[in-house]
Structure 1
Amino acid sequence: MSLRLSTVILPYRRWHEGGRTTWTRAEQLGFHTAYTYDHLSWRTFRDGPWFGAVPTLTAAASVTDRLRLGTLVTSPNFRHPVTLAKELISLDDISGGRVTLGIGAGGSGFDATALGQEPWTPRERADRFAEFVPLLDRLLSEDAVSYEGDFYSAHEAQNIPGCVQRPRLPFAVAATGPRGMRLAARFGQAWVTTGDPKLYESGTPEQSIQAIRGQAERLDDICAEVGRNMTDLDRVLLTGFTPERGGPLQSLNAFVDFAGRHAELGFTEIVIHWPIADSQFAADEKIFEQIAMEAPAQLR
């Protein structure tokens, strides 16, 4: 399989002031998927404009034809499976079956307290995620669902006509720990990693490769445990959070080298952030577009 190249478009621009043209340009450049973050606000963008993921993706679906669309990632921090399923079924219909749900356990950032709750511990996030994913799987696959869990409930939740994509739209499950990886192996069509966050500040690219190799090997072992054919599970690297940071976007050759080293670890999709000036995702837009247009052919 050829290595796919995708992008993340952060939802910080007004739709009629650059937002729309970014999504249409992503399709023109040939990206496989354009994702967006599903947050209420995020890190250094906290005090600036930030728009909702599902309305943004709905608008993007209306101005594109081939580009796949998705979240990277949605989490239980402020989502409930019943209402999320209804929005996703609607988005999948509007897009003509072009939606991928990137989903993760969430973190301790602004989303974790925006609804007025105390932030959950890592254990609590993992417990909720372990209930969230299977319930969402059912809601997107069955016409009517009733369920009573420790954290989430559904009472005769109707989801007719279901997804355009059958049996449901694909899940790309972000996970680095064994519980999350088991969810990826059981319910995911793809597994997502950003690498080892402990190496971001002071690690080396070589250490990062070793850490990601270790993650991939653990996933292989878990797939074997649950009887999942590991070749059926796509592997997605969201870049920008490894020690190389923006280095791979410095030139076409730098990116091809970076992507090739990760393709050797079994990755099937590399995701790069659309450039944003004066941010951690700053990059030369001409080089970015050159990478989008030329790197996939070099990586086949």
Structure 2
Amino acid sequence: MITTPDIGVYLPTREAMVGEGWTPRRLIDFAVRAERLGYASAWVTDSLASTRVEPLSMLAAAASVTSRLRLGTGALIPAYRDPLNAAHTLASLDLLSRGRLIVTVGGGFPRAADREFAMAGVPMKGRFAWLDEVVALWRTLWSRPRAGSFHGRVVSYDDLPELPPPHTPGGPPVWLAGATPSALRRTARLYDGWLPYPPDPAEFADGLAVIGEYAGEREVTPALMATVLVEPSPGRARERLDAYCDAFYGRPLSYLETFQLYVTGTEEQVVERLRAFVDAGARHILLRLAALDADDQFDQLERLAFLLEEAGGRTEGTPSPNVKA
């Protein structure tokens, strides 16, 4: 049983569009610096309506300048892409990164994602069935290059292309982002990992128990997304988080923290808060750094690496930062 989690960090592909001091090169440098500091993975978010660097392009660029860092989507919305082209891109990215890709997918949020789904021409109603079948299509293309056809209830192709085989046999692992009762059951039955962001460790533990109940002998990797800011002053921390939430979502922290995990304080306080989720079962912790400007992002990247090293853990394959359970 693994008791020390891997620690990943989100590449600031949207922050680079709204913050100061960013250039395309600095985004690449961020991935390089994360690997050198010992982070286990780098992640990207996805959107059609919010300006950011396209996530799979970002991961391809990061793959070219790193050698150990796992590369993940957290989460990719398959509805925003043609399913066959997405399968080809993901297989190629896994091949070019030599098997470092993790694909987390999501179905978007009602109301918040309505505009984006309309842009993509995919109805919100029935989006989860569509999502699951697209993932099944991808796995067919990745594992059976001459499958010929694919026929589901909502996704159907009489003629499938032959794709270059991914580096990972059968294709990269596919995780699901979501924590509704339905999402938990679907994670258990169909996906390789789970990526939620609940603010309460007990909620995380309860969700993981449901997945365990339905998964049977299947192994499902439990991960956690946390928006983190090292800031010792409580008043200053909330001020900075509020500004981040407004820039990122156009919503106040007081609303978002009711259902998303935000962690702030001194290094020791951040460690203790994350430790509660490790105790609840988290085995990958993905840090989104709550800073907009480039210098602030790099500062938080360094400070969190220091605190994780002080916690006594290690990342995958290297004696460096992690949270110790």
TM range (shorter): 0.7 to 0.9
Question: Partner of 2:273 in structure 1?
Answer: 258
CA-CA distance at 1:150 after TM superposition: 3.8
CA-CA distance at 1:191 after TM superposition: 1.0
CA-CA distance at 1:257 after TM superposition: 0.8
Is 1:237 aligned to 2:238, yes or no?
no
Question: Partner of 1:63 in structure 2?
Answer: 65
Deviations 1:242-298 (A, max 9, x none): 55978634322122211211111111011111343379x989625333235434625
Query: Structure 1 unaligned runs (5+)?
Result: 196-204
CA-CA distance at 1:17 after TM superposition: 4.1
Equivalent in 119, 140, 150 of residue 114 of structure 1? 119
Question: Partner of 1:228 in structure 2?
Answer: 217
Question: Partner of 2:251 in structure 1?
Answer: none
Tell me the number of residue pairs that the alignment of Structure 1 and Structure 2 aligns. 274
Cα RMSD (Å): 2.8
Question: Partner of 1:299 in structure 2?
Answer: 324
| Aligned 8 A contact 2:72 2:102 in 1 | yes
Q: 1:215 to 1:246 in 2, by over 3 A?
A: closer
| Aligned 8 A contact 1:4 1:296 in 2 | no
The TM-score normalised by the length of structure 1 is 0.81
| Aligned 8 A contact 1:248 1:258 in 2 | yes
CA distance in 2, matches of 1:164, 1:221: 32
CA distance in 2, matches of 1:15, 1:100: 26
| Aligned 8 A contact 1:133 1:183 in 2 | no
Moved more, 83-92 or 233-242: 233-242
Q: 1:51 to 1:265 in 2, by over 3 A?
A: same
CA-CA distance at 1:211 after TM superposition: 2.4
Question: Partner of 1:181 in structure 2?
Answer: 184
Q: Any residues of structure 2 matched to 1:10-49 within 5 Å, and which?
A: 10-12=12-14, 13=16, 16-42=24-50, 46=51
In structure 1, give the amino acid aligned to 2:208. A
Query: Structure 2 unaligned runs (5+)?
Result: 17-21, 228-255, 314-322
Question: Partner of 2:201 in structure 1?
Answer: 209
CA distance in 1, matches of 2:107, 2:46: 12
CA distance in 1, matches of 2:158, 2:312: 46
Q: 1:274 to 1:9 in 2, by over 3 A?
A: farther
| Aligned 8 A contact 1:29 1:293 in 2 | no
User: Partner of 1:59: helix, strand, or coil?
Assistant: helix
CA-CA distance at 1:19 after TM superposition: 1.0
Deviations 1:92-123 (A, max 9, x none): 111111101011122242432323x47514xx
Q: 1 or 2 for the larger relative contact order (CA 8 Å, sep ≥6)?
A: 2
User: Partner of 1:248: helix, strand, or coil?
Assistant: strand
CA distance in 1, matches of 2:57, 2:87: 14
Q: Any residues of structure 2 matched to 1:144-163 within 5 Å, and which?
A: 144-145=146-147, 146-163=149-166
The TM-score normalised by the length of structure 2 is 0.75
